[in-house]
Chain A
């Protein structure tokens, strides 16, 4: 996996006609984890979407190098009428990658979803859907993960599974940025508090 890096300089973003943050600068390299924290409305999702290229920055620059981004938004991005496996498989194909069965199975196992792989997503609980969306990210070979509230609806065991998967991703040289209200508790992780 190639190592991704990110350099953000003097970034400012608006949402709903209001400037949510300005003069934001930070840099991240391979193996780095950044937790975006702050109260509701402080701009965590706005920043994450701008970093992904889904939102527009008002000022400043976002410079990715060698990045292959996997995205988990506030919404899961799963199709209810497809099975968990089909959702992950098609997501990989949409990314232009050839899905690897072993890798998908590994990701499903990491989030205790093996028994649910053939179930349509619409039959799953909110927590199970979130785990399926996380498994989609983990199954990708992307080196930069952008996660919006990844702990949403997860029980304690699933939160631990996510920490384990995140730590493994970072250990492989991956980069991750997560907007979260839940402490990540992963060694080496940095925190950027917005709205202060």
Chain B
């Protein structure tokens, strides 16, 4: 647990020392999201109907933007070797890095999204659903992205490859995340959607760290 905490704190500290990296991700989210109302026009019903899909898609792309550096930096400076040789479980180290990524990417996106949702004319309940679905769903994106980042480590054009690998795996989360917001907007309950998002997140936590660790070991050889 000491090693988990050390790596988690180290990654958070590294982000705090370079806040611009996170700022770029959030700026991308803001710009990508606000382009839709500007491009489509002020038709309130249409905007409210597409809001869930737009916010979730933009959040997914924004999260992916930062994921290609998740392990690449450690690979480039040799720190990955130290992680591979650490006596603790590599799977825990993977979880620590993905958790730190979520704290600096998924969490701010979930906080920011309701503010942007207002531009789509969403009501208070729908805005709450936007924040809640992103809170529950973005950990899955961090873990799936972590797997893609590990599999593409050292590859040329790794960013494009990462997106190609991660995006199809993120589709279920995207569907249920956007679906929950639409369900609330149409007056239906969204408990089932949230439960499925939570189940996807738990499945990701329970399985993906092992796959990521295996990919990292392969990359280290």
Contact = CB atoms under 8 A, between A and B. Distances in A.
A6 to B, nearest CB: 15
Given A52-B85, A54-B85, A94 B7 contact: yes
A94 B80 CA distance: 11
B14 A94 contact: no
Contacts of A53: 84-85
Contacts of A120: 17
Interface in B1-36: 2-3, 5-7, 9-10, 13-14, 17-18
Contact of B78 (A73, A95, A96): A73
Nearest to B217: A54
Contacts of B7: 90, 94
B77 interface: yes
A91 B82 contact: yes
Contacts, number: 74
A96 B77 contact: no
Given A78-B77, A79-B77, A96 B2 contact: yes
Contacts of A21: none
On chain B, which size bracket covers the interface? 20 to 34
Contacts of A86: 13
A98 B18 CA distance: 27
Nearest to B80: A77
A81 B18 contact: yes
Of all A-B residue pairs in the complex, the 10 with the closest CB atoms, nearest first, are A75-B78, A93-B6, A77-B78, A81-B17, A94-B86, A73-B78, A77-B79, A90-B10, A96-B87, A77-B82
